[in-house]
Amino acid sequence: MAFSSIFAMGCGGNACDDAADKAEECGLTSSGGSGDSGDVECTGTVECAANCIVDAPCDAFDGSNADASTAYLECVTGCSGSGS
pLDDT of res. 5: 47
pLDDT of res. 9: 47
In this predicted structure, the answer to whether residue 40 has a pLDDT above a threshold of 80 is no
pLDDT of res. 14: 84
Q: Give the number of other Cβ atoms within 10 Å of residue 55's Cβ.
A: 15
3-state secondary structure of 58: helix
pTM: predicted TM-score of the whole model, two decimal places:
0.71
Reported as a pLDDT band with limits 50, 70 and 90, residue 8 is very low
Please indicate whether residue 8 or residue 65 has the higher confidence score (pLDDT).
65
Helix locations, the chain, DSSP H: 3-9, 14-25, 44-55, 66-78
Separation of alpha carbons 35 and 64, rounded Å? 29
